[in-house]
Amino acid sequence: MHLMDIYILVYGFLLFSFCLLVHIVVWRIRIPNHQIPLLGLIFIFLPALVFLSIYAAKGVFLPPALFDLSRTEWFAVFLLHLSLSGAYILSYPAAQAVSPSLKMLIDINSSENGCSVEELVKKFDENALFEERLQDLIKESFIVETADGIELTEAGRKLIKFFIFMRRLLGLSMGEG
Amino acid sequence: MNGILLFLIFLACTPLIIFLLQMIFSRAVKDIKIAPQIAVIMCSVAGFFVIIGTACLINSGLPTGCPKGRISFILYGCIVYASLALMYFHIFNMSETARRIRILYEIYLVGKANKDKVRERYGASKMIKIRMGRLVDSGQVACRNGRFFIRNRLLYLAARIVMAWRGALKFNR
């Protein structure tokens, strides 16, 4: 088996770093309303565009020897990029909506005498913990607010059924949240 | 199909491999109390050896060739495996801890709900208590005389990194 050229690692990281840079620049200008779909666009669609541009420019504007990889090697580059991107996108919600667990750890660490549960509850805004997440779900079209209450949309129903099915296969009941 | 491509396809199936291992593990240790996140980490470690074993099987032994090529191969495999394992961890953790998923589940159970009713079943106080229990069970936090202290700084460091990242993305404006 022919082993891996270091360039596969370099190109994979360069591609991911480029997308990350675009993401940071866009977010610093204005945080978009639909953040996760836009992240998908930046980390998946943009690299495909970059790849096609390189492919078109090779031999015309770029020397043919540059980025001269086999199909398997390009697959390896994209697998590296997509795995890094997937890990980042799925880690993103913890930064997007401040994870209460992470905030609790910071609050506990900042207190010399530790914290009781009651003190921690006081530090949290009920609105941020519950209401904002509810609004996120409405914005992302997983739930809809009607005159007589809130209910799941088709997308919301599919999403929760996926997790229920996954937990059932694992022999676990749904998490406590 | 060449060996490297076969290995890459197998490597891409990392989340599925960890899921299958977790399916077996969670049934095998049903009566032992292990934090679900710890179980996923243990299955991820086990999955890593499955991948190494597969790489050796495809290659009929450990990779040979020039040292640089071997180092790149091992480094590549480790980075991709770790990233895909982290992806699976996050997907599983969503079902375990995400507020939005829990809210969706509460609404799913009752069909159509009044906002206050959902808040009653899953409000701020309950959220904090659940999370505190989880942090204690996973060894991140210790409880002494009803007060909580940091026990393991790993997740605390992750918290600091996330807060710094929020600052970089200007969430705090």
Count A/B contacts: CB-CB distance under 8 Å: 260
Q: Which of A22, A117, A127 should we substitute to test contact with B (largest number of B Cβ atoms within 10 Å)?
A: A117
Q: Say if the Cβ atoms of A76 and B8 lie within 8 Å.
A: yes
Q: Say if the Cβ atoms of A1 and B131 lie within 8 Å.
A: no
* pLDDT above 70 as % of chain B: 92
Closest C-alpha among A133, A172, A140 to residue B127:
A133
Interchain CB contact of A10 with B (< 8 Å) = no
Question: What's the gap in Å between the CA of B34 and the closest CA on chain A?
Answer: 12
Mean pLDDT for the stretch of residues A69-83: 90
- pLDDT on residue A1: 39
A142 to chain B: closest CA residue: B104
Give the nearest partner residue to A143 out of B95, B107, B158, using CB atoms: B107
Q: What is the pLDDT of residues B26-40, one digit of tens each?
A: 988 888 888 888 899
- pLDDT on residue B14: 96
Would you tell me how many other CB atoms lie within 10 Å of the CB of residue B154? 12
Q: Say if the Cβ atoms of A96 and B171 lie within 8 Å.
A: yes
The residues spanned by each domain of chain B are: 2-97, 113-168
Provide ipTM, 2 decimals: 0.85
Q: What is the pLDDT of residues B49-97, one digit of tens each?
A: 998 888 777 766 555 666 667 788 888 999 999 999 999 999 999 999 8
* pLDDT above 70 as % of chain A: 92
Cα separation values, A38 from A69, A86, A89, A122, Å: 29, 13, 10, 35
